[in-house]
Structures are given as C-alpha cells and as structure tokens.
Amino acid sequence: MGRFSKMHGLGNDFVVIDARESAIDMTEARARAIADRHAGIGCDQLILIGSADDADVSMQIFNADGSEVEACGNATRCVPLFVGRDVLIRTKAGLLDAKAVDGGASVDMGAPRFDWDAIPLAYPMDTLTMGASWEDLPAPAAVNVGNPHVIFFVDDLDAVDFDRLGPLIEHDPLFPARVNVNFAQVTGENQIRLVVWERGAGLTRACGTGACATAVAAIRRKLMTGPVTVSLPGGDLVIDWAPGGSIQMTGPATHVFYGEADWSRF
C-alpha cells in the first residue's frame, strides 16, 4: 500500500504521492487510471514528489490524460504544505522556489519566455500580437512560463464557447506541443477575470501558470502594471512581474485528506 495526499489550489485538485523513499513506476496509463474520477482516485493532475541532487525535492506532473507536463503553478504552491517547509523544487521547467505564506504559498516561477520557438510555435511569429486567430476571437499573445500558453483578451468572457474553442485551439497544428488556452477579460485596474482550457485536462477551476502567463501578457501589452489580481472560477491569485524579471505567484493551497492505495491495481 502507498500513501497519498489529496490537495488542491483554488479547486485545481491533485493526488500527491511521496516517492522519495519508495520509487513508483508511473506510466501514462497508470497516471490516467489514478486520475479517473469514476474508477480511480480522481484529480486534475497527479504529482510525484521525489529526491533531487540540486534541490530539496523534485516534482513530476501528470495531467488527467496521463501526459507528463513541465509545470503546474497550483501544484507548486501545494509542495511546501506537503513537505512541511519552504522548498526549492526541481521540475522539468527548472528550479522553483516555494515559500509558505498564511493559507498558501508564494512561488518564484522564473522568467517568462517569448521567442516563437520557446513557446513553441510551428513557425516564426510575433508572440505579443500573433498573426493568427480563431473565428471571431481577437489576435492572442503567447507566453511560455515553463509550459506553453496562448492568451485571448476578450470583451465579454461569458460569450465565449470554452468547450468548443478550447480543444480546437489546444490541438491546432500551430502548437506542436499543444497549448494551454487562456480566455481573459480585464475587469478593473490591475484586475483580470480568467477561464483556462488546460492542455490534457480541459476546463479547470484554476490554473496557476495560466494566471502567470495572462498577467505577463497584460503587462507586456501595457493593459496594466503589476501586481495583478487574476480571478479564476476557483478564486484569486496575485501575480507580480516586471519586464526582465521573474514571475512571483501568491495564492492558496489546501490539504484535503490522506489516503492509501495499492498502486499495482491501477
């Protein structure tokens, strides 16, 4: 039997497994089975906490469809709570410094990248105002914050058909690694309302990297200055960034319960 913790950041929920002392052979099929909300434990992402030579811990992230991804902001905020102290975390996106704050954590998410081949896109293009769009959506911006994001600033968020447009854009050939799709509406001074279609997971109550990418895009377009409050269906995140610097994300993290499971059954 193996122990796990069920955790969430603003409703973006995780099964978190400590693999520091007992390694787990995590395959795409096993991760998908564990994440299944009817026949498994159920989660948006499966998180493996392991050892690292150059950090306090490592973090592997698997989406609900079993695909492994580079970064997850909401999960990163859960790691100090899971470990019980401030931590430096090794991820596929690089080293992330996470510190506990009242009710959650503050994470240095590193510097965003804007080059077309860093997103990545299939061919060269301006990533601040892309020369591509879908149906009546405005020209988006693209940002890599450890994983790829495309951001649409719309006038009326409630008029967007997320369930149809999200997967259409996620799987567009323009994005060879697929993409997280962010639909944003500026609602006030330094305030954004955001809905995210997450690569490999679909609509989610919150996406930390999506909030980071959207705030960065808004600041680059001079729509606002940081810090930016990003309101997602699950709650608010505060994102601070200045051009040339790294992104600071602050928000809640919650432990729900501990459990045990026989991983060989998945």
Catalytic position from the list 43, 72, 78, 212: 72
C-alpha to C-alpha distance for 27 and 20, rounded to whole angstroms? 17
Does the annotation mark 207 as catalytic? yes
C-alpha to C-alpha distance for 195 and 96, rounded to whole angstroms? 24
Sign of torsion over alpha carbons 4, 5, 6, 10: negative
Catalytic position from the list 43, 78, 207, 212: 207
Helices (H) and strands (E) in the chain, counts: 4, 17
Strand intervals (E) in 123-167: 141-144, 148-153
Distances (CA, A) of 115 to 57, 134, 142, 222: 30, 21, 9, 19
CA nearest to 7, candidates 47, 57, 52, 65: 47
172 φ/ψ sector (left φ>0, alpha ψ -120 to 50, else beta): beta
Relative orientation angle of helices 73-83 and 208-220, to the nearest 10 degrees: 130
Does the annotation mark 43 as catalytic? no
CB 109 within 8 A of CB 145: yes
Residues assigned a catalytic role? 72, 207
